[in-house]
Amino acid sequence: MSVYSMTGYAAVQSTPARNTPETDAGTDASARLGVEIRSVNSRFLDLAFRLPDELRQTEPALRELLTGKLKRGKIEMRVSLESSSGSSLRAPAASTLQRLGSLEDTVKSWLPHAAALSVADVLRLAGGEDKTTHDYSDELLKLSKKALKDLLAAREREGARLAQMLLDRTAQLRALAASAVPMVPKLVEQQKLRFMERWQEAMALGGGSTLPEAAQDRALTEATSFAIRIDVAEEITRLSSHLDEIDRLLAAGGEVGKRLDFLIQELHREANTLGSKSGSLELTHVSVDMKVLIEQIREQVQNIE
C-alpha cells in the first residue's frame, strides 16, 4: 500500500449537453456542474460541504462517498451549478402571461395601490414557473467519484514525496547514532586517565600515606561509575529499533500517520536522554543534530494520513 498525505486538491467539471427538444421545453439539463475538493491535515476526518440549494439532498450520499475512501484530514467539498441557458431568454407562454395578468387583477382588486408588474418581474416569474427541475443527483455522484479519484492520486503523490523525505531523515539519524557509539569508550578512557592523574597528585601531596594499589583501585572504581553514567548503548539500541519500525511502516503504507506520530515522540525522548548523558561536546552536538532531524520528521508526519 501507498503512504498518503492529507494535503491534496482536485477539481472537475461536467460538459453541458446539447439542447434537445426536451431541454427546449423547459428542462435545464444543459447546466454545468463543478466539483472541487480541498484537503489539509487534521487529527480526525472533518468534512464540510458547500452545495447549491438545488443539491442539498445529495449531501448524505456525498458524505458516504468520502468517508469510504478518506480516513483523516479536513476536507472541504464545493459544488457549483451554472446554467448554460441563463443568457438566452425564452418568451413566456401565452397561458403563463394570461395567468399572471389574472393574478395581477385579483391583487389590484384588493390592493388598488399595489405596483404593476414590470417586464423584469414577468420574465422572472414566468421563468421560474416554466422551468422544470432537473435531477442532478446521478451526474453529481459520478462527477464526485472522479474528483475523489483525482484527490486520492494527488495525496498519493504527495505521500510518496513525504515518505522519501522521512527515509532520508531516518538514514541521517542512523548515521548520527553510529557516530555516537565509539565516542563513549574514548570518553571512559580519557576520564580514567584523569582520575589516575588526580590520585597521583593527591598521593604526592599526602606524602605517600595512601597505598598506590588503593589509589589505583579507587581511580578505576570512579572511572567505572563514570562509564555507567554516560553509557548510551541502551538509548542507541532503542533509537535504532524505533527507526526500524518507522521504515517498516513507510514500506507497508496505509493509515500510518498516528503510529508514526507516536514513534516520533519516542525518538525525541531517546535523543533527550542521550543529550543528558553526554560527557563531551561532541556527544552533545550529536544529540542536538538528532533533535533537529526528529523535529523535521515530526512536522512532516503531521501531514500523513
Read off the pLDDT of residues 87-98 as tens digits, 9 standing for 90 and up: 456 677 888 888
Q: What is the pLDDT of residue 21?
A: 46
Q: CA 252 to CA 136: how far, in whole Å?
A: 40
Rounded Cα distance, 155 and 38, in Å: 11
pLDDT at 241 over 80: yes
pLDDT score of 34: 94
Average pLDDT score, the chain: 82
Q: How far is CA 158 from CA 27, 206, 305, in A?
A: 42, 71, 11
Q: Tell me the residue type at 288.
A: V
Quick one: which of 52, 47, 51, 40 has its CA closest to 68? 47
Least confident among 36-40, 120-124, 145-149, 190-194: 190-194
Looking at residue 64, its pLDDT comes to: 95
* Confidence class for position 54, pLDDT limits 50, 70, 90: confident
pTM beyond cutoff 0.85: no
Work out the burial of residue 197: count CB atoms within 10 Å of its CB; fewer than 13 is exposed, 13-18 middle, 19 or more buried.
exposed
Q: Quick check: 270 and 242 in contact, CB under 8 A?
A: yes
**How much of the chain, in percent, has pLDDT values that exceed 90?**
45
d(CA 215, CA 202): 9
* pLDDT category of residue 79 using cuts at 50, 70 and 90: very high
Please count the other Cβ atoms lying within 10 Å of the Cβ belonging to residue 270. 23
Which residue type, as a one-letter code, is found at position 124?
Answer: R
What band does 75 get if pLDDT is binned at 50, 70 and 90?
very high
pLDDT at 285: 87
Q: How confident is the model at residue 200 (pLDDT cuts 50, 70, 90)?
A: low
Rounded to whole angstroms, the Cα distance separating 301 from 85 reads 48
30 DSSP assignment: T
Residue 263's nearest CA partner among 298, 289, 300 is 298
User: Three cell numbers at 62?
Assistant: 456525498
Q: Please give the pLDDT value at position 264.
A: 94
Convert the pLDDT of each residue in 162-194 to its tens digit.
999 999 999 999 999 888 877 766 666 666 666
What pLDDT, in 10s, does the model give residues 223-239?
555 555 556 677 888 89
Lowest pLDDT segment from 45-59, 96-110, 139-153, 159-173 = 96-110
Which long-range contacts link 224-230 to residues 24+ away (Cβ below 8 Å)? 226/188, 226/191, 226/279, 227/184, 227/188, 227/191, 229/277, 229/279, 230/184, 230/187, 230/188, 230/277, 230/278, 230/279
